[in-house]
Amino acid sequence: QSVLTQPPSASGTPGQRVTISCFGSSSNIGSNYVYWYQQLPGTAPKLLIYRNNQRPSGVPDRFSGSKSGTSASLAISGLRSEDEADYYCATWDDSLSGRGVVFGGGTKLTVL
């Protein structure tokens, strides 16, 4: 059971816009920045979005992030076949049981 909740799967056709949600609580998303990672099959995760909505150099502007309250979203516009991957959200958690980085369970994106 992950601290952050993501839908297990999402799908879209080429050119479409898809969004992936990430739900948390006041001790994590509600009070800290959200980060998003893309993991292509058989590879290490890659940082896609940092501090809610910032893109590292080299990440296409088709990828965008947002946060509102205790939830966050990753949007991918102009969907391409190479976007088929697992996507994870993450943030810092300040819960009573301990402090540290927490991840969502991941969302498998299929490009139909």
Shortest distance in whole angstroms from residue 18 CB to another protein: 19
Shortest distance in whole angstroms from residue 15 CB to another protein: 29
Q: Which of 15, 41, 58, 98 lies at the binding interface for another protein (CB under 8 A)? A: 98
Shortest distance in whole angstroms from residue 103 CB to another protein: 5
Q: Which of 14, 60, 69, 101 lies at the binding interface for another protein (CB under 8 A)? A: 101
Beta strands 107-111 and 9-12 are parallel
Reported in sequence order, the residue ranges of 1-112 that DSSP labels E, i.e. its strands, are: 9-12, 18-23, 34-39, 46-49, 63-68, 71-76, 85-95, 98-103, 107-111
Residues 32 to 91: which contact another protein by CB under 8 A? 32-33, 35, 37, 43-47, 50-51, 56, 88, 90-91
Alpha carbon distances (Å) from 80 to 8, 13, 16, 19, 48? 20, 8, 9, 14, 16
Nearer Cβ to another protein (1/13)? 1
